[in-house]
Amino acid sequence: MSEEQRRHHRIMTVIPVGIHFVQRSPAEGWGRIRNISVSGVEVETHFPLKDSEKVYLSFAVEGWVLMFENVASRVIRARNFAGIYSAGVAFEDELDREHLREALVYLVNRT
């Protein structure tokens, strides 16, 4: 999907993310957020995610100062690139948008 087709601008980053699965064993895994916006993230993992799968994401921006825990989310689009899995994940929870905007502004300004 091109940047023009997206509802919100994405910020490229690398942030560790904990992933809690609703209907899967093991129930938890780890990955990396590759980009983030106010509506969702792109997650990269070493295990497959499934389209439409409900997950809960936990991540922090810059030293645990801006934390997001157990954010209800849904996998929109999952892909496999030679054993590295990537998924577009939309936030379903009503996040504290101001808190998230603060995190995004921080990410943009830290360079």
Q: Where does the pLDDT of residue 3 fall: very low under 50, low under 70, confident under 90, or very high at 90 and above?
A: very low
Q: What is the pLDDT of residues 57-83, one digit of tens each?
A: 999 887 656 788 999 999 999 999 888
Q: Which pLDDT score is estimated for 110?
A: 74
3-state SS, 22-59, equals CCCCCCEEEEEEEEECCCEEEEEECCCCCCCCEEEEEE
Q: What is the pLDDT of residues 81-102, one digit of tens each?
A: 888 999 999 999 776 677 777 8
